[in-house]
Amino acid sequence: ISLGFWTGIAATLLKSGKILHGIFKLPVPLSETSVCNVPPNSDHGNILRRVKNFIIDKASMIPVYALKAIDNCLSDMNCNSIFDGKIIKLGGYFRQVLLVVTRAPPAAVLDAYLQRSSMWNNFHQIQLMQYMRANTNEQDFSSWLLQLKSVFLQSFLDNLAEDTIDIPGAAEEMKNRVALSPKNSYCLGVNEEILSRLPTETKIYLSTESVTSDNEEEVQNYPMEFIHFLTPSGMLPHRFNLKAGAIIMQDMGL
């Protein structure tokens, strides 16, 4: 049995867990024409040949061409059957973590999903019917997790009373509180919603940017309006609003 994961962090959670790039010698970066660097008669090829069962977690992050490369690698070992007739168990939750296709339009991202693979119909799908991390008396929380989305969040904010926002006076009161957001853009919206409910005056701070290049034509390709629209991860927006009494967190790594 071989335990495989798409990310190194997930691989450290289980004993003997390894990333798929190490198990199958997948190249970096991956493409539709990528092949595994495992000669059939090599020592590593003999190790893969002896494995009968591959268990792969976080499969929702695996692009379809990686699965194809793995199939080609195993099929070259002995025969031309899918995955050399070995048992492949894919585990993952497509609502939790999806694959990342750099600078790709939505259509290209959808085409990279495992469900678009020609081998997908050969998998027998088993669905998890019960959230095992929640106790029997916490099923309402499980249902709430499934309903959690931007629309639900907005309706939740709309129903808040004006006196609901209570800024804790001590750090001890904050340690068990957390706000989760799937995207940075959602965080900006939540921040603005909370600021709008504070009674103090809004202070607006604008960023200062410049494009530096020896090529004048290259400078013209980056107008200030475009730069102001960008919100890179870990950076403040161009128009930063603050109010007295609002909680802010400073990133000391900047």
Contact status, residue 57 vs residue 5, Cβ threshold 8 Å: yes
Among the listed residues 178, 200, 179, 185, the one whose alpha carbon sits nearest the alpha carbon of residue 237? 185
Same domain? 105 vs 19: yes
DSSP string covering 133-178? TS-GGGHHHHHHHHH-SHHHHHHHHHT--TT-----SSGGGTTT--
**Strands 53-57 and 18-19, sheet pairing:** unpaired
Q: How far is CA 107 from CA 29, 32, 103, 113, in A?
A: 20, 16, 12, 10
106, 122, 138: which is the final residue of a domain? Answer: 122
Least confident of 61-65, 91-95, 123-127: 91-95
Mean pLDDT, to the nearest integer, of 16-44?
88
Which among 13-17, 62-66, 93-97, 250-254 has the top mean pLDDT? 62-66
Same domain? 28 vs 116: yes
pLDDT for 254: 46
Q: Is residue 54 pLDDT above 90, yes or no?
A: yes
pLDDT for 53: 92
> Count of domains in the chain?
2
How does residue 25 score in pLDDT terms, banded at 50, 70 and 90? very high
Residue 235 is part of which domain span?
A: 177-243
| Share above pLDDT 90 across residues of the chain, in percent, rounded to a whole number | 7
